[in-house]
Amino acid sequence: MTHPPEYASHPYTFGLEEEYFLVRRNGRRLRHMPRRFFEACRSALGERFGSEMLQTQVEVQTEVHDDPRAAARDLLTLRRTVGGIAHTHGLGILSAGTHPLAQWRGQRSTDKPHYDQVMDELQMLGHRNLLCGLHVHVQPADPAQRVPLMARMQPFLPLLLALSTSSPFWMGHATGLMGYRQTAYQEIPRTGLPPLFRDQTEYNHYVQRMVDGRAIRDASFLWWALRPSLAFPTLELRVTDACTDPRDALAIAQLFRCLIRHLERAPQLHDRLQAGEQAVIAENLWRAQRHGFDAGLIDLGSRRLVSVREMLESTLDALAPDIAALSCETQIERVWRILEDGTSAHRQLQQYQARRLAGDTHGDALAQVVEWLATASVPA
């Protein structure tokens, strides 16, 4: 009797990392993280709560999960715990790719050797990195194949970004983009789409050259939209904006999880991507940054501009066995609600436009967007 492929029983364990902005509830600008707030969060959550490069940002990490329902409870607990502690300190948290009103000038970096090294390299770019993302880790059945999977996953990144956009404002301005975070983030080196490495050996050679040339300390200084994690046997999704609604974050995480299983089941899918195709993927990423899911993406197979709804339908049809195997039907169903109700970027723009029509000034309307984000980021 032949044994089933490893993916048939592999749990495709996953975890989420979310970054939040820390704000004062009285509307005044926050420049540094209060020590008592940090200590209280660490006492409640341990190493699952941490600082970020800039002191007005924090990060939380879920446990490792194979059950999306348990992950949903975990993520909600993290938000409520950090949000509750923040409230007792006169603070709030915002889960979005950018803070509508925050100014990067005057931001203070976190005093840690790692961040000191990064800030020394990036200079002003580090201070401008006032951005929050959703990072999703998934362990493939064969972690040794993470580098080929990194290349083969790239056609799906624009779709994942389009479903997560939450950064239409930057430094008090409407950017005209649904996902400005990616545009700002790409000021930093070693971001954007990773090179199309053929295998682990080619990737290792690149990393070693960069280390030997003292360009990077290790592979954790590769900040691509997608990368093999250095700390875990996972492929890490990094292109997505922080989602204001935790249900959206979990839906995107499960879609990414199913895509990894699907690519392992279909080893020839996107296994020969060329530079021209990667250039089309980059164009699709720009379309997702600019329009979210409103203007469509170029389908690599048909070479047609198709709606995100059409692309999502065909993708989910192909993923049906993976969705069933990983028991995430409820979470995947949420992506259709995102298309119906809009992403956080849509909701922020609706809040802003409604307040402007009601007679608010530009600044007051943006302040209302911030207030909505603070409320929506921590569900009751």
pLDDT digits (tens, 9 = 90+) for 214-239: 999 999 999 999 999 999 999 999 99
The candidate with the shortest Cα–Cα distance to 155, out of 281, 315, 275, 318, is 281
pLDDT digits (tens, 9 = 90+) for 120-147: 676 656 566 689 999 999 999 999 999 9
**Main-chain dihedrals φ then ψ at residue 298, nearest 5 degrees:** -85, 125
Quick one: average pLDDT of 64-83? 97
Q: Is the pLDDT of residue 352 over 90?
A: yes
Between the alpha carbon of residue 299 and those of residues 178, 292, 302, the distances in Å are: 21, 16, 6
Confidence of residue 34 (pLDDT cuts 50, 70, 90): confident
> Nearest 5°: CA angle at 81, between 97 and 339?
40
Question: Residue 27 above 70 pLDDT?
Answer: no
Is the separation of the CB atoms in 278 and 267 below 8 Å? Answer: no
Contacts of 25-30 spanning 24+ positions with Cβ under 8 A = 25/87, 25/90, 25/91, 25/92, 25/374, 26/90, 27/367, 27/370, 29/102, 29/103, 30/56, 30/91
Domains, the chain, in order of start with CATH, read 6-376 (3.30.590.20)
Q: How far apart are CA 172 and CA 287, in angstroms?
A: 23
* CA–CA gap between residue 272 and residue 52 (Å, rounded): 37
